[in-house]
Amino acid sequence: MAGSKATTAAGATIATAPLVALLREIADGSGGLVQLRPGLSDARMDAWAAPVPEEIRVLLREVGGIRIAYSRRKDNDTYLCSEIDFDEPLNDGTDPAGGDGSWYVEQAGGPGTHRFVHLDEGDGFFYVDVDRETGSWGPVFMFWDANDAALLDSSLTAWLHRTAHCLREALRGADGDAYTFNSAFQETWTEPQRNAPQVPTVPAADARTSPDPVIRSVATALPDDGALADLREVDGAALVIFDFPELCHFGRAHGGTVLTAVPSNPYEDD
């Protein structure tokens, strides 16, 4: 355990044991403002559509998610929390409101190509890319209920490491107040996506004539009305907006470093 490491898309490594220890230290000293969800069993992870590599299992066996307080209930003085949840029900096609959420699973690329880890109040859907062929977990992305998408970090562990430091900084000035804590946390945590540079998109038809073999290969697998964005040279976060008249379905290729999209209609028949 102590020597376990998770590899990011950029090739760097973040040791899992220190990350888990950091999250536990933050939760233990937060007075309940930060709570860790119980770790997940291998049997549970085996049931997921997206395969789980061992380096990710090492993390998720210890931490199943993070509850982040934003207010107190008036009736019993417990905290109301937003959640990073590695067993997010939307992965099984269940909408947070209890309805059918399968359209969002398809919007992120379909079962087995990603893992939702957080849904925010601003209609942001956070997920980790999963390579369908190798099972490797790659960069962390988010999309809104539109054609806007963002690359947030190079790996799940890198994203959690930054999340942990944002939580720790927010706790220092909160003096136990949930609203003050959450406001400070959200301000720093969402900064990368707010200020990320926008990466241009390329229509699939144009990309098929690119001198870059990776771009040509990805474009060949897209329909004529599809498009892509090359994120291979991005250092940090990036914003991508696909100019489609309707919504779109996203996909990733080349280890999550090329974001793709094809137009879709949320009311289309399955």
Q: What is the DSSP string of the chain?
A: -TT-EEE-TTS-EEEHHHHHHHHHHHHHTTTTSEEEEPPPPHHHHHTSSS---HHHHHHHTT--EEEEEEEE-TTT-PEEEEEEETT-GGGGTB-TTSSB-HHHHHHTTSTTSEEEEEE-TTS-EEEEEE-TTT--EEEEEEE-SSSEEEEEESSHHHHHHHHHHHHHHHHHTTTT-HHHHHHHHHHHHTHHHHSPPBPPPEEHHHHTT-S-HHHHHHHHTS-TT-EEEE-TT--S-EEEE---SSEEEEEEETTTTEEEEEEE-TTS--
CATH of the domain at 111: 3.40.1580.10
Which domain range does residue 56 map to? Answer: 5-195
pLDDT-based confidence at residue 270 (cuts at 50, 70, 90): very low
Confidence of residue 245 (pLDDT cuts 50, 70, 90): confident
**Closest of 167, 152, 156 to residue 23, by C-alpha:** 167
User: DSSP letters along 119-133, please?
Assistant: E-TTS-EEEEEE-TT
pLDDT of residue 182: 96
- 133 located within any domain: yes
Q: What is the pLDDT of residue 7?
A: 46
In a domain, 39, yes or no: yes
pLDDT tens digits for 164-192? 999 999 999 899 999 999 999 999 999 98
Residue 71: predicted pLDDT: 93
Q: Is residue 103 part of a domain?
A: yes
- Please indicate, yes or no, if residue 205 is contained in any of the structural domains: no
227-230: strand order across its sheet: 202-203, 227-230, 258-264, 247-253
Cα 138 from Cα 50, distance rounded (Å): 12
pLDDT at residue number 119 = 94
Q: How many whole angstroms separate alpha carbon 178 and alpha carbon 108?
A: 32
Q: What pLDDT does 50 receive?
A: 85
Please give the mean pLDDT across all residues of the chain.
90
- Asked if residue 209 belongs to a domain, the reply is no
Asked if residue 91 belongs to a domain, the reply is yes
Higher-confidence residue: 245 or 257?
257
What count of Cα atoms within 13 Å lies in the side-chain half-sphere of residue 231? 34
Confidence bin at 266 (pLDDT 50/70/90): low
User: Span 105-115, mean pLDDT?
Assistant: 94
Residue 226 forms part of a structural domain? no
What is the share, in percent, of the chain residues with pLDDT greater than 70? 92
Q: Which pLDDT value is given to residue 188?
A: 96
Question: What pLDDT does 8 receive?
Answer: 41
Residue 251 has what pLDDT? 96
pLDDT in tens, 14-53: 689 999 999 999 999 999 999 999 999 999 999 999 889 9
- Total domains in the fold of the chain: 1
pLDDT value for 43: 98
User: What does the pLDDT read at residue 269?
Assistant: 47
Per-residue pLDDT reduced to its tens digit, 57-73: 999 999 999 999 999 88
Would you say residue 188 lies in a domain? yes
- Threshold 0.85, pTM exceeds: yes
Confidence at residue 123, expressed as pLDDT on a 0 to 100 scale: 80
